[in-house]
Amino acid sequence: MYQWQNLLNNGNECFNEQNWLQAEYYYKQAESHLDILWSANNKDVDLLMAWICTVHNLATLFEAQGNNEVSLQYLLIPHHRMLKLSHNDQSCEDLKLIAMKALKFTFTPLMIFAKKHPMCADCENGLNEFQKRLDAQQPQLH
């Protein structure tokens, strides 16, 4: 098993035991390992999804503690990174496509969070605009 997987498993165990500080430590360590691995092999979708899930675990951890502002920030980190990659002219087409597909995985938790917790108007408007763009990309059956 890879080191990041062990860290993530340890974080999950600590989370389930409500050992928040230790869970945060393990999740952050796993996120750091995954970030380095994915940076070295940015076309590895499995590493990217593991990184996104790990950052989302951090968001869930802070939400469970009632720290919704920090939770939202952790939800936004992968979403903003994927937006940036998908629009970066320096990125190859494969990486842009990977980032665009990953946006669906980063957007859904943001919408769920927005339904549970109040957000500033700018954040809500940004999410709604993104939702409209996603809906416009979906094929319509007639």
Summarize the confidence of residues 37-57 as an average pLDDT: 94
R_g over Cα of the chain: 16
Q: What share of the chain is helix, strand, coil (3-state, %, to 5)?
A: 80, 0, 20
Give residue 123's pLDDT.
Answer: 72
In the structure, what pLDDT confidence band is assigned to residue 109 with cuts at 50, 70 and 90? very high
- In the block, residue with structure tokens 């989302």: 56
Give residue 88's pLDDT.
Answer: 81
Give residue 137's pLDDT.
Answer: 56
Mind listing the pLDDT tens digit for each residue in 93-104? 888 889 889 998
b (16+ CB within 10 A) / e for 95-112: bbebbeebbebbbebbee
Q: Judge whether residue 54 has pLDDT over 70.
A: yes
In the structure, what pLDDT confidence band is assigned to residue 74 with cuts at 50, 70 and 90? very high
Give residue 139's pLDDT.
Answer: 44
DSSP string, 45-107: HHHHHHHHHHHHHHHHHHHHTT-HHHHHHHHHHHHHHHHHHHH-TTS-HHHHHHHHHHHHHHH
The enclosing H or E element of 18 equals none
